[in-house]
Chain A
Amino acid sequence: MKLKSTQIYLTPAEHAALQHEADRLGSSMTAVIRGLVDRYLVAAGPATDLTDLAGTVSTAQPTDIAVDKDRLLYEDLRDDLRRHERPVRVAES
């Protein structure tokens, strides 16, 4: 990653807050600033609106994805294997 150097001036309170956050994350002050710029300026894309997709799926059995996810993924995998089953061929001797 190519980086460009810049110089900023901070108040003692801002500097202390930045140092504290870097220490807390086990990171550098530079990395914290880059993260904040990325979070608030670079990565902040357009707002996401998923509301019109709400409830577009329904299932015969109610689910609780908070606890059922692994079971549902297992069942999907099991069904996928069944869909792709091939008859076993035994070589004749």
Chain B
Amino acid sequence: MTTFADTSALYALLSRSDRSHTDAVRAAQTVRDQHETLWTIDAVVVELWRLLRGAAGHDEADRLIQALIARGLDVQPSAREDYTRAWQLAASWVDQDFALTDRLAFAAIERGRGFRAWSYDHDFAVIRLGPRRERALDLVY
């Protein structure tokens, strides 16, 4: 099984000062115990690196991103059509303020690796995918 990992989930796991840390540790243990593969997109990694740099410095941010990848976090590039979908999502969810990173994540999830996602970001609970906006994400907490 594959699960998309959002910035909030990875940061909450790494930072013991974060409110969602305990939940994130439990989720990471579930991922390990169920032999799941975590995947994400480049935009999330860049966002996470910036958060880690702010929290722990440039070198530690580099080290932690390398460590995540070395432990099996699969980082995928965004496809060109993901950007097209991101603009569509902005147009069809005018009452929301989804960041581009989140919309690229939604597009990549919709494109085909399953609807399971690990996130503490409220936007991941709000989004509905598919042409009729009826498919909620299967969230891991």
Contact = CB atoms under 8 A, between A and B. Distances in A.
B71 A53 contact: yes
B31 interface: yes
Given A47-B36, A55-B25, A62 B54 contact: no
A66 B121 contact: yes
Contacts of B12: 65-66
Given A39-B114, A43-B113, A48-B32, A66 B19 contact: yes
Given A53-B68, A64-B18, A69 B7 contact: yes
Contacts of B25: 51, 54-55
A57 B74 contact: no
A25 interface: yes
Give the residue among A39, A58, A69, A76 with the most B Cβ atoms within 10 A: A69
A57 B32 contact: no
B130 A24 contact: yes
Contacts of B16: 54-55, 57-58
B36 A51 contact: no
B85 interface: no
B54 A72 contact: yes
Given A24-B135, A53-B64, A72-B54, A66 B120 contact: yes
B132 interface: yes
B105 interface: no
A70 B99 contact: yes
A50 B70 CA distance: 9
A80 B110 CA distance: 34
A59 interface: yes
B72 A46 contact: yes
Contacts of A52: 71
B73 A48 contact: yes
20 contacts: A25-B131, A26-B131, A43-B37, A47-B35, A49-B72, A50-B28, A50-B73, A53-B13, A54-B28, A55-B21, A57-B60, A57-B64, A59-B15, A61-B17, A62-B17, A65-B8, A65-B120, A67-B122, A69-B11, A76-B51
Closest 8 pairs between A and B when the two form their complex, measured CB to CB = A26-B131, A48-B72, A55-B16, A47-B35, A76-B54, A48-B38, A35-B112, A66-B120
